[in-house]
Amino acid sequence: MKNKLRIQGLLATMAASLVLLTGCQTKQADDPTVATYSGGQVTQANLYKELKQSPTTKTVLANLLIYRALNHAYGKSVSTKAVNTTYDSYQKQYGENFTSFLTQNGFSKASFRQSIRTNLLSEVALKKLKKVTNSQLKEAWKTYQPKVTVQHILTSDEATAKQVISDLAAGKDFTKLAKTYSIDTATKDNGGKTSFEATSKSFDSTFKDAAYKLKNGDYTQSPVKVTNGYEVIKMVNHPAKGSFENNKKALTANVYAKWSRNSSVMQRVISQVLKDQHVTIKDKDLSDALDSYKQSVAKD
């Protein structure tokens, strides 16, 4: 069930590398020493010169400028509480594996919070700059799925998941099996019960797709491969779809969630933010760092 941090592809490496370039851009009259060796020293200017020759430096600069432009434009719309809530949800989701999750994704606790904030800022920008039309809502209605409640058992290997399915076929209780086999510490003690919507970012798409195919009382007949293991899923409550008019709010959220995962859409949004914030790069060696964003904002 657990999903890796869903940061827009355009911004995924931003937070972990902001500090490096920020420090190197600071102008110091005395050119402070960064490091020494027996034959001399490396100054801040030496380091900055070398960094400019690295292909990744332009990416770091671009990400830094994107974050600062977003924060200047929409910073008041993203509270510390919102960042902490998202951070805490990942910490709860990964439990004792949270530190490993951060390490594997190249984050410290601080840079992870920064990435969450960047993600939230980009979502605000998307909603401010791109509006959902009624025709787009009607298109989304064709594949709309309501909020469902399921039980699930996450295992680390396929063999264990198959054993769970075999036990269920033999009439064993799903709740008891979840406590025995599930490695999801957030749900195993309540029988693996959880609820989600189609737009939920805490679940793999394969998990959601498999769940939505189930009727009440049914469970998956083969293990469902997800990011960090194999799932066995049982549908507890799959409500009726309802009417279009009563679900417009949910449909709007679905459309925005879909757009937020679309790199082309998000690139146009970021392009507009950079334009609105009059972002300019003064260093000629780094002047093309934002070239991929220098485009007209397409009309959708």
- pLDDT higher at 30 or 9: 30
Classify residue 217 by burial, with Cβ atoms within 10 Å: 0-12, 13-18, 19+.
exposed
pLDDT value of residue 22: 43
pLDDT over 80 at 221, yes or no: yes
pLDDT value of residue 15: 47
SS3 195: strand
pLDDT digits (tens, 9 = 90+) for 155-180: 999 999 999 999 999 999 999 999 99
pLDDT digits (tens, 9 = 90+) for 15-25: 444 444 444 44
DSSP 201: S
Q: How many Cβ atoms from other residues are within 10 Å of residue 124's Cβ?
A: 16
pLDDT value of residue 204: 87
Domain boundaries, the chain: 52-131+263-293, 145-237
- Average pLDDT, stretch 189-213? 90
- Name the residue among 104, 93, 109, 220 with its Cα closest to residue 165: 220
- Average pLDDT, stretch 77-94? 93
Classify residue 179 by burial, with Cβ atoms within 10 Å: 0-12, 13-18, 19+.
middle
Model pTM score: 0.71
pLDDT digits (tens, 9 = 90+) for 270-295: 999 999 999 999 999 999 999 988 76
State both tokens at 206: 């394969």
pLDDT digits (tens, 9 = 90+) for 43-67: 999 999 999 999 899 999 999 999 9
CATH topology of domain 145-237: Chitinase A; domain 3 (3.10.50)
SS3 225: strand
Q: Is the Cα torsion angle 294, 260, 90, 218 positive or negative in sign?
A: negative
